[in-house]
Structure 1
């Protein structure tokens, strides 16, 4: 999806959560887990699962991001997501295509550590110049929130 495009946004977040890599993996490979895990995702629809040519598990779905504008005004942004998963405790890659020529690729690496699992998310994204600052700010805020919420969920469960 984003392979031939030059990213204009790149950053990484890391968190340590109190759960095994297998538990974190199961949670992150369920598209419905992203409702609330990402502060913008309010719905997940049209989930389709299968395998790619390399035998990796692939999940395609439509997620709805809700942006609050002014007062009661809001914008529901429908994004297409393709999630490619490896074995538990390994890697999970999500490729997102959004309206306005915005794309994002998030690679999550799970590593067992004494405290549970180190979750490292590397994000690359691209957006047209007029949207770049907004996309960068939103992507960083969402990644930070997601790391904190995943830490909370894994401690609670």
Structure 2
């Protein structure tokens, strides 16, 4: 299965425990990923949270498609790891590693996109990278509400 990996390191002006708590909560991803408009069917177990995320895609400016994806989150002492299974043979694996950085947090965001077909991988990887880069600014902007 073809894949590609992206990495982004950025600073969030909030302490690591606050960033960890935010990234561990499914509802936080609404708007944190510009595509995610809702989460549903949240199931929490010790160390693992599973839920359905609704990604909204727009085509030609007026056609919308809601993509329902299965998400699994795992939280450790210094990271949040996730797996996404999406229709169309797309799978994402990601990790936010959190490191204290002065009064804030350095976030290393590593994302690997897998897809069954190369053209699907190209499209999914392009969208995933756009979301990854946008997420850095959105998370930093939310910092004041995290402390």
The CA RMSD measured in Å over matched residues stands at 1.2
Listed one character per residue, the Cα deviations across residues 104-135 of structure 1 (whole Å, up to 9, x for unaligned) are: 00111000011400011111111121211111
1:149 is matched with: 138
Extract unaligned runs of 5+ from structure 1: 1-5, 52-56
Q: What does 1:99-118 align with in structure 2 at a 5 Å threshold?
A: 99-118=87-106
1:97 is matched with: 85
| 8 Å contact kept, 2:36–2:54 | yes
User: Which of residues 23, 31, 34 is equivalent to 1:36?
Assistant: 31
- 2:121 and 2:114 map into 1 onto residues whose CA distance is 7
Determine which structure has the larger strand proportion and give its number.
2
1:3 is matched with: none
Q: Does 1:123 pair with 2:111?
A: yes
Secondary structure, counterpart of 1:138 in structure 2: helix
Number of corresponding residues? 145
Segment drifting more, 75-84 vs 123-132: 123-132
TM-score (ref. length: structure 1):
0.88
Secondary structure, counterpart of 1:37 in structure 2: coil
Q: Does 1:133 pair with 2:128?
A: no
| 8 Å contact kept, 2:81–2:95 | yes
Q: Does 1:63 pair with 2:53?
A: yes
- 1:28 and 1:7 map into 2 onto residues whose CA distance is 28
| 8 Å contact kept, 1:17–1:155 | no
- 1:156 and 1:48 map into 2 onto residues whose CA distance is 25
User: Which of residues 74, 80, 103 is equivalent to 1:84?
Assistant: 74
Structure 1's consecutive aligned runs of 4 or more residues displaced over 3 angstroms after TM superposition are none
1:47 is matched with: 42
Distance 1:101 1:59, change over 3 A: same
